[in-house]
Amino acid sequence: MFWLVLSVFLAAVALQGLFAYYDDFFTPKQMLRHVPRGLPFVAHGGMWGDVIISLLVATIVDRYSSQWSFREIVLAILVGIVVSFMMHETYKAGTIPEAHVQYGHLTAAGWVHFGYMAAALAVLGLYYLDTEYTPYMWMVSILLIIHTIVGTHVVLGLVQPDWYSGRPLTSMGTWGAIGGTAVLTLGRTAWLAFGR
């Protein structure tokens, strides 16, 4: 099961890259032919982080899916779709053209990411809400927080290349996402470890 899930998730990341390439938004050089500032696919920290997320999701499904009922899986998928939809709606409101969102619309890469995120959130929800406590939850939580830091472009905010005009270090959305991820994952893990 591990290799199947990992292959599907990594294929989704690769497909996003392929769509970004054909949209001329894969590298800064491609992107700069169309806009003076933006966020190309290869510079999107979340896409690199999705390799780690793919490994986590595949491991979680392989090791813990036997603990989940059909009803829990269906509910998690529905919640994953709703949360992914809400997240992508906030992305569409952004003003910086990027590989996933341009001028208020999802690109083909953005639609693939929508599905990827919905599936990943469903698995992570099942892991934190419908899986017995395991000490690995602490490590998974830390990796998710790191992914959120990188995915909200904090690294780009520190480096600030000429072609990126975002200001993630001063964005309430950035710090809300990082803080929310930390509270939800570490809080739930602490509750499972100590609260029973």
The whole-angstrom separation of Cα 92 and Cα 178 is 20
Q: Which residues pair with 101 in a beta bridge?
A: 106
Cβ contacts of 86-95, under 8 Å, gap ≥ 24: 87/117, 88/113, 88/114, 88/117, 90/173
Instruction: Tell me the per-residue pLDDT of 4-43, one tens digit each, with 9 for 90 and over.
Output: 999 999 999 999 999 999 999 999 999 999 999 999 999 9
In contact, 77 and 1? CB cutoff 8 Å: no
Residue with tokens 């599907």, as numbered in its chain: 8
The whole-angstrom separation of Cα 71 and Cα 91 is 30
Three-state SS at 87: helix
Q: What is the pLDDT of residue 195?
A: 85
Q: Cα(first)–Cα(last) distance of the chain, in Å?
A: 31
**98: enclosing H helix or E strand:** none
Q: What is the pLDDT of residue 144?
A: 98
Q: What is the pLDDT of residue 71?
A: 98
Scanning 23-152, the segments in alpha helix (DSSP H) are 28-32, 45-64, 70-92, 108-130, 136-151
What residues contact residue 91 under an 8 Å CB cut-off, 6+ apart? 100, 101, 106, 110
Residue 196: pLDDT over 70: no
Q: 12 vs 46, 54, 58, CA distance in Å?
A: 13, 10, 13
Residue 65: pLDDT over 80: yes
